[in-house]
Structure 1
Amino acid sequence: MAVKKVALACTVCGSRNYTISENNQRTERLEVKKFCKHCGKHTLHKETR
């Protein structure tokens, strides 16, 4: 069985820069500050499904 992946999207520009494995135990969407190569700075990234 393959591992399902979800993307982390930048809240500023909307680009999907990172992928993580899906976790069914997480009830809320993940929000992390990551570096966005399109914005050139650290921004908030939210989990997309």
Structure 2
Amino acid sequence: MAEARTEITLKCTVCGEENYITTKNKKAHPERFEINKFCPRCGKKTVHKEKR
């Protein structure tokens, strides 16, 4: 039986740095994940989107 949760990488929309790895349930939430997180390269909170 396959796992419902898959690992995704979050990428900063400002500088393009891949900063975070998390999991999500693709069956329950098929849309792309987007969240405000701190980017150490930019030095501020920026929008991070799911990398495809």
TM-score by length of 1: 0.83
Q: Percent identity?
A: 47
Structure whose alpha-carbon radius of gyration is higher: 2
Task: Give me the CA root mean square deviation.
Answer: 1.8
* Counterpart in the other structure of 2:31: 28
TM-score of the superposed pair, with normalisation by structure 2: 0.79
Structure 1: runs of 5+ lacking an equivalent: none
Residue in structure 1 matched with residue 13 of structure 2 by the alignment: 11
Deviation at 1:42, TM superposition (A): 0.1
User: Post-superposition shift, 1:11?
Assistant: 0.1
1:48 and 1:27 mapped to 2: Cα distance? 14
